[in-house]
Structure 1
């Protein structure tokens, strides 16, 4: 693991790191904030998964999470959103697919299967690296994210309720198999058999029996993608049918941007901290 940068912030350390991933076959960059409490021993870990077109840097620079993370004593891990590199297949003119748009799936279709394995990268390889290299209490993990990353957080938590004690999302794509901006990506990554898409679709996972103790979602009412891509009412209906407690906050006047995310970041970190025993 290579240290790209480190800076002191709120008594803790904001770092950026790079390593050669065996899962994606590429170098991968990620950000980690370690709070000051970690100097006394391992602290809980909160994973943040970013949205389309983002890297690790978007939430690190605009998410305004460090004060709350330092106050509660939680590590924040922010991975990249896709593999990158000249040899990695991409559609440079399509912001909804390829570089910056890995959708947190393990691709099965060529030419994407060799590199686009963000699900396994997050759940297996980066998890093991965080456990080995940082003062992380891996028995207390939470996960959250934004948009495509909200989709990733929901699906990963639903498939690993034994690992994650908390899950929340900002403006998640709750049913990517039917949303305008994600359906084409799933077909390219996973093939035309829509049954294969269900394991990467939060609503479908709930319909198929996956459960999580409770979920928190914040959604901007002025989000331009609300009606065609995000559709939180579908998650609300699925959770109600399955008996999963869901707090769904529709925030009047807020859009899809980091102005929205940073406004409610403290609320989410406090919510996770309580469930992580802090």
Structure 2
């Protein structure tokens, strides 16, 4: 683990770091906040959205005061592999900055775009060895990262105590962002996409290890109707008998101003389940 910078914040320590990932075959960057006092600490993994790096949540979400209060750490990785040898696309919603937290099976993405394996294997192993973190963790995220948090929690329930999301891509098989990414990264057979769709996973009971799923969605979000479609989560949860707390926040948009307004609620939600 290479330490790139450290800052004091809310009595704890914020570390920017970089490490080599076996899954992506590239260096991966991340930030880690540890609260004041002695560890090891339970921790949250935050997954950011399209175009983001490890820095967006770190500087904009304002989560560390609540994390210090609840004595939980927060790990925020980058959203994709990066570098001159890593495949990319001129569009903002494909390639570097748009890893979609899945393992690509199609060229030219296959060699490096292994974000599912990175998050669930390399990241967890590395941060728990390098920082005072306990093997007790939860996951949350925004937009593309909300999709990642929901799907990874349901596919790997043994890894995560709880899950929440801000404005997640609720059903990527039924929106243009998801269809574009899955067509590029995965088998053209749409049946293989179902394993990466939060609403479809909830519908078949894959979320039944979680007592509740917290989702916040702004009603003023410009992507609400065409890309995010939280009503599909509601329908799936009703069908499966899964508790879902979907809070529609009046007037809030898709920006980090929205997340900063409610992130303390999410930290508290997870802290209660990590206790």
Same fold, judged at TM 0.5 (above)? yes
Query: Would you say 1:274 and 2:269 are equivalent positions?
Result: no
Contact 1:19 1:27 in 2 (8 A): yes
- Which aligned segments of 4 or more residues in structure 1 are displaced greater than 3 angstroms? none
For structure 1, which runs of at least 5 residues remain unmatched after alignment? none
User: Aligned ranges for residues 43-58 of structure 1 at < 5 Å?
Assistant: 43-58=41-56
Could you tell me how far 1:180 is from its partner in structure 2? 1.5
Residue 95 of structure 1: aligned partner: 92
Q: In structure 1, the residue corresponding to 2:145 is in which secondary structure?
A: helix
CA RMSD of aligned residues (A): 0.9
CA distance in 2, matches of 1:175, 1:202: 6
Displacement of 1:209 in angstroms is 3.3
Q: Within 5 A, what are the aligned runs for 1:16-165?
A: 16-37=16-37, 39=38, 41-92=39-90, 94-138=91-135, 140-165=136-161
**SS at structure 2 position matched to 1:244:** coil
Q: TM-score scaled by structure 2?
A: 0.97
Please say if residues 140 and 164 of structure 2, whose CA atoms lie closer than 8 Å, have aligned partners that are also in contact. yes
* 8 Å Cα contact 1:179/1:229 also seen in 2: yes
- 1:119-165 Cα distance to aligned partner (Å, 9 max, x none): 00000011100111111111x21100000000000001111222211
Distance 2:112 2:204 in 1: 28
Ranges in structure 2 where 5+ consecutive residues have no aligned partner: none
Aligned-residue offset at 1:208: 3.3
Matches within 5 A, 1:206-217: 206-211=202-207, 212-213=209-210, 214-217=212-215
Distance 2:131 2:192 in 1: 35
* CA distance in structure 2 between the partners assigned to 1:262 and 1:269 by the alignment: 11
Q: 1:174, 1:234 within 8 Å by CA — same for their partners in 2?
A: yes
Q: Secondary structure at the match of 2:247?
A: strand
Is 1:19–1:28's contact at 8 Å kept on the other side of the alignment? Answer: yes
In 2, Cα distance between equivalents of 1:204 and 1:267: 26
Distance across 1 between alignment mates of 2:112 and 2:88: 11
